[in-house]
Homo-oligomer: A and B are copies of this chain.
Amino acid sequence: MRALVLVCSLKKSPAPSSSELLGREILAALADHDVDGEVIRVVDHDVKYGVTADEGSGDAWPSIRTKLLGSDILVIATPIWMGQPASVCKVVLERLDAEISESTMYGKVAVVGVVGNEDGAHHVTAEVYQALNDVGFTVPAAGGTYWVGEAMGKVDYADAGPKPDTTGTATKTLAANAAHLAKLLNDSPYPSS
Contact = CB atoms under 8 A, between A and B. Distances in A.
Contacts of A163: 151
A121 B83 contact: yes
Interface in A154-181: 163, 166-167, 170, 173, 176-177, 180-181
A5 interface: no
A180 B181 CA distance: 12
Interface residues of A, number: 69
Number of copies of this chain in the oligomer? 4
A64 interface: no
Interface of A: 10-11, 43, 49-51, 81-88, 90-91, 93-94, 97, 105-107, 118-123, 125-127, 129-131, 133-134, 136-144, 146-153, 163, 166-167, 170, 173, 176-177, 180-181, 184-185, 188, 190-193
Given A85-B90, A180-B191, A184-B188, A144 B148 contact: no
Main secondary structure on A side of the interface with B:
mixed
Given A81-B97, A87-B91, A149-B150, 14 more contacts: A10-B50, A43-B49, A83-B134, A84-B93, A84-B122, A84-B127, A87-B90, A107-B141, A120-B120, A126-B127, A138-B138, A138-B181, A152-B170, A184-B184
